[in-house]
Structure 1
């Protein structure tokens, strides 16, 4: 049982939890293509950056001084670079989480167990919501508003609950199967326990070999992304301080800037 709980813990830590606490929110959605960046509130464009130089806020072109133009260019180049990679990272992260949960469940319980369809249904909802939040369609990259957190926890609370539901269903099925080991004679029970123990050992080794490497790679990418978003947040703050039209539009929200604004109030 200790090994089973350890294995489930590994799935949680590498699948939907990570050792990185990024604390980055997007208050608005971002649409990015080669020509422009648009900041949108539902279907309304709050502002857009054409190329790296032109800023349009609520339909009006904003004239910038040299320093403001440099800051606009920096944040524009950063967003153009980060957003496509962010979408890839989110997709890879949730795919790894889903793959890991399915692999553990199938290995311990099998696809014939009555709860397997529930697991698949929950995991499919997770994948569908990720595709809605992180979109690459034609030439456009889109990230929806909400929290960007950890390696695979790049989802809002509702999606997180669906992953937890899948995990809980999996654990329930696993424990049900283990409970069945008490049926039959002692020799038969001992053999079943020995078989399960061997399966767990093999799965643990395979997990470390396959999933562990992928998870660590995602952690490194997420750390890079987190640092980049904090850097872009600082540039955005400079623009909001010096460009009056942007003062009330805060796209990237981090713990540092939240503390700063609380201190000013």
Structure 2
């Protein structure tokens, strides 16, 4: 990982904060790798006997004990439709926990990478404040994607992300950044000026080299986890391609479901 790669990793955590707290209405939850991009259009709750799809806190449709309800009304199904619905429900119930697991792993990796990269620069005391900020982001992500016993919830829509990364969270982060910025800047300035070299340019060159070394060290420490997450993302995308094909068949078979598309799947170029 070069310096550019290091800052890209740091920016990933910043993006979580920006998309959620600063402008939540701009984003839906997406899973992206080199092959595909999946954007989820509904919040999904998976329970042992029930599968619920909702938007803005209101249930759109659900599958409960093999029966389909749209806007609270049961839809009568023939045997073929019921069989398709059962297959679809089983696949969604398997894949939503996989997505939640992927989200959790990605956030943990991003925050760990930021902490490992910046602690050598700012020192333990200042880095503790950074860890507090990152922990705040983690707790809000946990509100949007979590497991509680045998219940799984994935809040993927704009309204759900806005609820998790709300104005209260924004104010908390702004205050925390405000309180910490002085310490960050002083530590950064001290680190730069203590670098080897007589002139300012020499010190900046030495500081840049140190950042390169830190980036390489972080890459070594997180490479295994990063590769595992990339593999998970590929698996999730591949599974969703199959799920979307099954959903398309289901929506064609059950006209009442024709306008409800769980996810938008697009190839990346």
The answer as to 2:186 corresponding to 1:186 is: no
Cα distance between partner residues in 2 of 1:230 and 1:88: 18
Q: Which runs of 5+ in 2 are unaligned?
A: 17-31
Count of residue pairs brought into register by the alignment: 236
- 1:215 and 2:226 aligned: yes
Residue 240 to residue 213, structure 1, CA distance change in 2 (3 Å): same
Q: Structure 1 residues 191 and 243, CA, compared in 2 at 3 Å: closer, same or farther?
A: closer
Aligned position for 1:45: 59
Contact 1:107/1:199 (8 A) holds in 2: no
Aligned-partner Cα distance in 1 for 2:139–2:215:
29
TM-superposed deviation, 1:128: 2.1
What residue number does 1:89 align with? 102
Give the 3 Å change call, closer, same or farther, for CA 171–230 of structure 1 in structure 2: farther
Report the CA distance between 1:195 and its aligned residue: 9.2
2:223 counterpart of 1:224: no
> Following the alignment from structure 1 to structure 2, what is the Cα–Cα distance between the partners of residues 124 and 62?
44
Matching of residues 111-190 of structure 1 within 5 Å: 111-113=124-126, 117=129, 119-146=130-157, 176-181=189-194, 186=198
Question: In the aligned structure 2, how far is the partner of 1:136 from the partner of 1:19?
Answer: 24
Q: CA deviation at 1:218?
A: 0.3
Q: Give the TM-score, by structure 1 length.
A: 0.71
2:104 matches 1:104: no
Q: Which deviates further from its counterpart, 41-50 or 19-28? A: 19-28
Q: CA 1:145/1:205 → structure 2, altered by over 3 Å: closer, same or farther?
A: closer
Structure 1 residues 44, 10: CA separation in 2 closer, same or farther (over 3 Å shift)?
A: closer
Q: Is the 8 A contact 1:38 1:48 kept in 2?
A: yes
TM-score (normalizing by structure 2): 0.70
Q: Name the SS of the counterpart of 2:36 in structure 1.
A: coil
2:13–2:111 contact (8 Å) kept in structure 1: no
Contact 2:43 2:53 in 1 (8 A): yes
Report the RMSD for the aligned CA atoms in angstroms. Answer: 4.1
Q: Which residue of 2 aligns with 1:71?
A: 84
CA distance in 1, matches of 2:186, 2:240: 40
Indicate the SS of the match to 1:55: strand
Contact 1:83 1:143 in 2 (8 A): yes
Distance 2:120 2:216 in 1: 13
Q: CA deviation at 1:236?
A: 1.7
SS at match of 2:124: coil
Q: 1:39 aligns to what SS in structure 2?
A: strand
